[in-house]
Structure 1
Amino acid sequence: MTTVLVRPAAGRLVLSPAGQAVPEKFLINPADPYWARALRDGDVEQADQSDKPVSLGAPAAPATPEGGKSNG
């Protein structure tokens, strides 16, 4: 899968397919119809590759104390 680092275009509020505002820079699959349209319409644009992107996937599980051991 090819991914592209993008950012919202200036003055645009871009929502993910889940309906949440996207981060400042994030990776997309340009073959995905949702993001292909966003690229085509100018809602997102390719970003500088020097910064680390943010994933739009599921949030990471919260850390638990004692190296991942649960008290419950």
Structure 2
Amino acid sequence: MTQYQAAGTNAWLKLFVLLEAQGVPAAEADDLVAALEAGAVAGAQCEVESWTAWRRPLRTRCARTAGMRA
């Protein structure tokens, strides 16, 4: 496990502890964390695709989802 994976896992566990302390049901906490993870993956993918766009005409995934051209 890399330091980044370890940091991610520790943050994930801490988030669940904090949500539980606030009385958030486990199922809702799972949904919230899944939404955060999905957003992070989509954002990272958008950055990578945007970075490659300067080399060739490309409509990036983030631009397509927003209905705009890159």
TM over 0.5: no
Bigger radius of gyration: 2
Under a length normalisation based on structure 2, what TM-score does the superposition of the two structures give? 0.26
Higher RCO (Cα < 8 Å, 6 or more apart): 1
Provide TM-score, normalisation by structure 1: 0.26
- Which has more helix, going by share of residues? 2
Higher percent of residues as strand:
1
